[in-house]
Amino acid sequence: MKKIIFFLPLLTLLSCYDAEHNCKDFKNGKFKFEFEVNGVKKTTIFERKDGIEIETFEGKTDTSTVRWVSDCEYILQKKHPKNMAEEKAINMKILTTSKDSYTFEFGMVGSDQKQRGKVFKIE
Would you list the domain boundaries of the chain?
23-121
Where do runs of H (alpha helix) occur along the chain?
A: 2-16, 84-87
Provide the CATH topology of domain 23-121: Lipocalin (2.40.128)
Q: What is the pLDDT of residue 56?
A: 95
Cα dihedral sign, 85-91-94-100:
positive
Whole-number pLDDT of residue 1? 46
pTM given for the model: 0.79
pLDDT band at 20, cuts 50/70/90?
low
